[in-house]
Amino acid sequence: MSTALTIAVDDKTMEAIESIASQCSLEALAEAGAYKRTFLMAAGINALRRTITDKMVDELMNLQGTSLGFKTDKDTSGGYSRDVVKECAIEVVLRGGYWVGNEFNIIAGGSYLTKNFFARKVREFPGLTDLRLCPGVPVAFGDKTCLVPYVATWLLKGKPDSVERKLTKIASGDLDERISVRVNSMMGPDAVLGKAERKILAAVYKRLTGSDASDGEAEEAYETRSPAKSLDALADKLEGVPERIAAPEVAKPTATFSLDNAGADFSGCTTLSEVNKLSAELEKDGIPEDHRAAVAGYQEQARERITAARTKSKDGKLALNG
């Protein structure tokens, strides 16, 4: 009896998907003007909707809920519908992700790029070598948050570069850029460090590409779940990490400006009024001059996301595509 497998996608269709991705992905459109980028992206979404057949969606449904494919926050209740899976799969293609290898999750009905995605994209970035990720000792911040100092260093075509997320003393006080990680009772040390690693990789990817990929606080529901007895366990996990950053000499960090928190807050806005209110609150509290551009970017991304959501018709399809 033959054991040869057949697949639902022919070579011509796969080539078509690759071609659409190469022309209309966010990376491909990075240098295009705003209006050209808008219509090429709309064309790419529409083309993928036509190209991805029902048989292909059948196969994608088999990947749902597996580490080899992609996971969701509804795996225990049967997962998401075909329409949701197809739309999320289309978004992942245009963001440069893969449908296998757990490079994305579906959270609250939307696609969420995982640590695996950012790790691959950074690793494959042309000319990048000697990437080093150096986490520090997490510090409690309230009941449900840890602040994790982190430094990533690398060479790009032989030239050194880095992203640092630390607590820094400046003339006007403390500048706190440590990575904010939400903690719950079911999260173990690996989960906390995994979230922090995803965020630093997302920051590196953004630095390399100028991408708007979010390092936001969507819950990564399938990280390691061994309960942590205390925050001391987090520090224990870091023993032996080379060149780790020393723990800040503060027992209770003050609520200073955090770029990670600002990005997460804008990601959570669902109306333009909320965006305006948050912007006003940040201005009132004071935004460091060297982070104003980043905050303005988060604000603009939130506005574009909310405005785009309003263009969807009742059946969930983008009005722009008819």
What is the pLDDT, as a whole number, of residue 224? Answer: 33
More confident: 126 or 185: 126
Lowest-pLDDT choice from 113-117, 142-146, 147-151, 183-187: 183-187
Lowest-pLDDT choice from 114-128, 240-254, 285-299: 240-254
What is the pLDDT, as a whole number, of residue 278? Answer: 80
Which tens digits make up the pLDDT trace of 46-90? Answer: 999 999 999 999 999 999 999 999 999 999 999 999 999 999 999
Which tens digits make up the pLDDT trace of 108-144? Answer: 999 999 999 999 999 999 999 999 999 988 888 777 8
Q: Which residues contact 4 (CB under 8 A, 6 or more apart)?
A: none
pTM above 0.85, yes or no: no
Contact status, residue 163 vs residue 203, Cβ threshold 8 Å: yes
Q: Which residues contact 104 (CB under 8 A, 6 or more apart)?
A: 70, 88, 92, 97, 111, 112, 113, 114, 117
Residues 20-55 as b/e (b if ≥16 CB within 10 A, e otherwise) read bbeebbbebbeeeeeeebeebbbebbbbbeebbeee
Residue 161 belongs to what H/E stretch? strand 159-165
What is the pLDDT, as a whole number, of residue 139? Answer: 84
